[in-house]
Amino acid sequence: MKRLVTSLALAASLTAFSATGVLAADAGGPSSDDLLKSATNTEAVLTYGMGPQAQRFSPLTDLTADTVKKLVPVWSFSFGGEKQRGQEAQPIIYDGTIYVTGSYSRLYAVDARTGHKKWEYNHRLPDGIMPCCDVVNRGAAIYKDKIYFATLDARLVALNRETGKVVWNKKLQDYKEGYSNTAAPLIIDGKIITGNSGGEFGVIGMIEARDAETGELVWQRPTIEGNVGTLNGKDSTVTGKTNASWPGDMYKTGGGATWLGGTYDPETKTLFFGTGNPAPWNSHLRPGDNLYTSSTLAINPDNGEIKWHYQTTPHDGWDFDGVNEFVSFDLKKDGKVIKAGGKADRNGFFYVIDRTNGKLINASPFVTKITWAKGIDIETGRPMYNDDNRPGAPATADAHDAKGKSVFAAPAFLGAKNWMPMAYNPQTELFYVPANEWGMDIWNEPITYKKGAAYLGAGFTIKPLYDDYIGALRAVDPKTGKIVWEYKNPAPLWGGVLTTAGNLVFTGTPEGYLKAFDAKSGQEVWKFQTGSGVVGSPVTWKMDGEQYVAVVSGWGGAVPLWGGDVAKLVKDINQGGSLWVFKLPKA
């Protein structure tokens, strides 16, 4: 574990549906069709995002702003041992079993009624893994008789969901080069779709599809322009056009990691993956837009070809990853229904995009301070840059102590919204976005690429913008960009959001609370102290006639490692590792 600790220190510094819509418990497990319809299934949680479009909306109505006051804990399951740190997972629930991942690439199967552990899988990690942003894992995927998850040493593991025994274990990339994996996989039409992590090490972002039964590669799509994809074991097409937006050989180490995974829209049969920062951070070394970093890519799930792309931050110089989830929804505006998608980007703007063609519909700030751009041009879709707010170039490439001009930029590189997933409620027609208000001093430094080493070329210090709060849960109207209500939190918000047809919104706080809010007014209506910071994503389902809510508790993630002055403010929050389950008892 010695080299793992070293890498963390580096980061610190730098089922078939019945006619009634209920999933039948089948020994074969959930089918492809079950997964596609999972957003309407109230008796299971079959996909990351509670449906392939990742709206994180439940049709359940037992819990309301009035009845949620009766919500009580049923049991708590400890992940045990000394392997704590950040617990960012979303549980998967099927046939009375909760499948949940933990830090350090662990997976548990737990009886949903009792909290009794059925089995545990501990992935054996090598000493040399290089996770940039804590040893987290965000969740698993279920399909037929298997449960799947990705690991910190860049592998994909399939386990028998009944026994926890390994069915297959495939290498995705080489962890020695800086690759890792933290996202929950996505399963579409019998293919398991994954991304990768490691943009801070000059890797190449990838989206891969593998046969879910065998683990064999079907197609691979690099996210950096100039690299060649594969299909059925052969070279396919070049991503974009070589050297169109990257100088020289920089496309070979261009970053663009797809570290948050993707979403899928069954209506347009399209995968949506966000891409991370270009490498290095020092933008003066790579003139051009640097496609397809800091973007959303629309992908054909059959062959991995790019249908369209939208780049939120061309020529990114602030580490404004574009990985944040693209959530499909129907936009009702001016008497029309538009097949749209919403994205709360790290750069501070909330984008509404036509999901059929990638055309921008609108873009509005969802935080109070944005310094790097004056706004987004609706016609071109491009930012209107504030050139004075780009960190300056180092004096010379050879003078390793000569940093460029420092600027104060907002948002900070940890983003107006980072990985933590938002939710969309089709009844209120609002998005619920976990935002953070912070800025940073940032400067550029000379850097050269070395395989397996940090590839930043920048220094930074994050600072809060306000004395009374950093985190803000905001209800955003996608038609207008207006913030309808907000809840302000002293510490940064770093957990996912759930919304329900019972007019509720759930999210956790680093202070340890799972909280519920009225979805229309934003009034806080319930809270429970879990004993450690909540940075996981809550889910809800119905079992034995009662509505349940589950969330993982355990403080960690990127904030205490990269947070600068903000990290000092939250240094006393206790770590942990527990799965909490609550229910609304029968009347």
Binding-site residues, please? Answer: 88, 138, 182, 200, 277, 319, 418-419
d(CA 233, CA 230): 6
Alpha helices by DSSP H, 205-261: none
Asked if 52 and 188 count as a contact pair (C-beta separation under 8 A), the reply is: yes
CB-based contacts of 278, cutoff 8 Å, min separation 6:
254, 255, 256, 286, 290, 293, 294, 315, 316
Question: For residues 318 and 262, what is the distance between their CA atoms, to the nearest angstrom?
Answer: 23
Alpha carbons 578 and 76: distance in angstroms, whole number: 6
Residue 92, H or E segment: strand 92-94
189/36 Cα distance (integer angstroms): 9
Distances (CA, A) of 357 to 41, 46, 300: 29, 29, 13
H-helix or E-strand spanning residue 310:
strand 306-311
Residue 528 in tokens: 């429970």
Distance CA 194, CA 215 (A): 12
Instruction: For residue 127, give the amino acid letter.
Output: D
Compute the distance between CA of residue 66 and CA of residue 254 in angstroms, rounded to an integer: 51
Helix (H) / strand (E) containing 344: strand 336-344
Largest CA distance in the chain: 73
3-state secondary structure of 416: coil
The set of residues, in sequence order, having a beta carbon less than 8 Å from that of 123 and lying 6+ positions away, is: 104, 105, 106, 107, 151, 152, 153, 155, 157
The secondary structure of residue 240, as a DSSP letter, is S
Q: Of the residues 145, 319, 321, 345, which is catalytic?
A: 319
Tell me, yes or no, if 319 is annotated catalytic. Answer: yes
* CA atoms of 465 and 438, how far apart (whole Å): 5
Residue 401, judged by CB atoms within 10 A of its CB (0-12, 13-18, 19+), counts as exposed
Angle at 194 between CA 207 and CA 540, to 5 degrees: 135
3-state SS string over 28-59? CCCCHHHHHCHHHCCCCECCCCCCCCCCCEEC
Evaluate the omega torsion of the peptide bond into residue 292 and state whether it is cis, within 30 degrees of 0.
Answer: yes
Q: What does each C-alpha distance from 4 to 129, 149, 155, 300, 346 come to in angstroms?
A: 6, 20, 16, 36, 27
Is residue 219 within 8 A of residue 303, CB to CB? The reply is yes
Q: SS3 helix, strand, coil % of the chain, rounded to 5?
A: 10, 40, 55
Q: Provide the annotated active-site residues.
A: 319
